[in-house]
Amino acid sequence: MTPAEADKILSANFAPWVLDLALRVEAVGEDRAVLLLPWSQRLAREGGGLSGQALMAAADTATVIAVSAARGGFVPMTTVQQSTSFQRAVTGADVRIEAVLTKLGRRTAFADITLSDTGSGALAARASTVYAILG
């Protein structure tokens, strides 16, 4: 799967509010996906830090792209669990999201996600997800 094909999965399968995040697929591999969340003042909280809700949605979305890349295309799936630990605020910089599948079964997928400030390279958050694969 190419990044352009993965971008089409984004546009065809995600809710309008997720598309409003303007996520871009930078790279996909057999067990991973790398997305970019562009900085937007609309996504910032008081004090200028990017909202946790936006970061969690980006991590969740990156997992769907990673699973789709590993399976060779999109199939219906749903989040069963997501745990996120925030480590530092992101202010005025894009965020690099890398979702790495740690296990892909017929009915479940597990992933670890890192979210990094592209300005400093510092880790902003970590997430782990579990997905049920429905199709």
The string of pLDDT tens digits covering residues 57-113 is 999 999 999 999 999 999 999 999 999 999 999 999 999 999 999 999 999 999 999
Rg (CA), the chain: 14
pLDDT at 135: 77
Distance of alpha carbon 25 from alpha carbon 64, whole angstroms: 12
Report whether 99 contacts 33 (CB < 8 A): yes
Select from 135, 131, 74 the least CA-distant residue to 99: 131
pLDDT at 98: 98
For residue 94 the two structure tokens come to 């894009």
Amino acid at 26: E
Distance of alpha carbon 96 from alpha carbon 35, whole angstroms: 6
